[in-house]
Amino acid sequence: YGEDYDKVITLPLFGNDEDDVEDQEEKQIITGEAENAQPENIVPEGINEYEVVYIKPLAGMYKSIKKQLENHVAAFNTNITDMLDSRLKKRNYFLDVLDSELNPFKYSSSGEYIIKDPYKLLDLEQKKKLLGSYQYIG
């Protein structure tokens, strides 16, 4: 064993000899990436990066909020208009019913009431009926 043990066999690493190592270093420098590589600039020239990063997302959010707000305001206006129309119909119906109930207290020729406040002449049940119809008409 002693004689064989003294012999040392040297093999090149990865199957390359010393000349290949120098070529490999040159290739590594040419094809490798630098450690301090600059990040790719995705913002086109002439446009401020602040606008792209901050302003454009805010503008998109503003547009969506504005659209939602316009929809809510339009729905609110429609609801208010419907509510006012409903109240006007109830009021007109109430006045028509009241007018028909108070016909006996009018002059037939002029249409004016005989007394100042003919509503006082209606009995309690008629008043409740008129007020009930005014409140619960749909």
Per-residue pLDDT tens over the stretch 103-134: 777 777 777 777 777 667 677 777 777 676 66
Residue 41 in any domain: the answer is: no
- 9: containing domain: 2-36+46-136
Alpha-helical runs (H) found in 1-138? 2-6, 18-31, 49-50, 56-101, 124-136
More confident: 90 or 26: 90
Contact 118, 102 (CB under 8 A): yes
Residue 108 in any domain: the answer is: yes
In this predicted structure, what is the pLDDT of residue 41?
A: 60
Residue 123 in any domain: the answer is: yes
In this predicted structure, what is the pLDDT of residue 137?
A: 46
Q: Identify which of 130, 133, 132 has the alpha carbon closest to the alpha carbon of residue 120.
A: 130
Per-residue pLDDT tens over the stretch 40-88: 666 566 667 777 777 778 888 999 999 999 999 999 999 999 999 998 8
What whole-number distance in Å separates Cα of residue 102 and Cα of residue 119? 7
Per-residue pLDDT tens over the stretch 22-45: 555 555 555 555 556 566 666 566
In this predicted structure, what is the pLDDT of residue 33?
A: 54
In this predicted structure, what is the pLDDT of residue 106?
A: 74
More confident: 102 or 33: 102
What is the pTM assigned to this prediction?
0.42
Residue 81 in any domain: the answer is: yes
In this predicted structure, what is the pLDDT of residue 129?
A: 72
Residue 18 in any domain: the answer is: yes
CA atoms within 13 A on the CB side of 133: 14
φ and ψ of 41, to 5 deg: -85, 110
Residue 128 in any domain: the answer is: yes
DSSP at 44: P
Please, which residues have CB within 8 angstroms of residue 64's CB and are 6 or more apart in sequence? none
In this predicted structure, what is the pLDDT of residue 85?
A: 93
Give the residue-averaged pLDDT of 91-108.
76
Residue 67 in any domain: the answer is: yes
What whole-number distance in Å separates Cα of residue 41 and Cα of residue 77? 48
Number of domains in the chain: 1
Residue 63 in any domain: the answer is: yes
In this predicted structure, what is the pLDDT of residue 136?
A: 46
Please, which residues have CB within 8 angstroms of residue 67's CB and are 6 or more apart in sequence? none
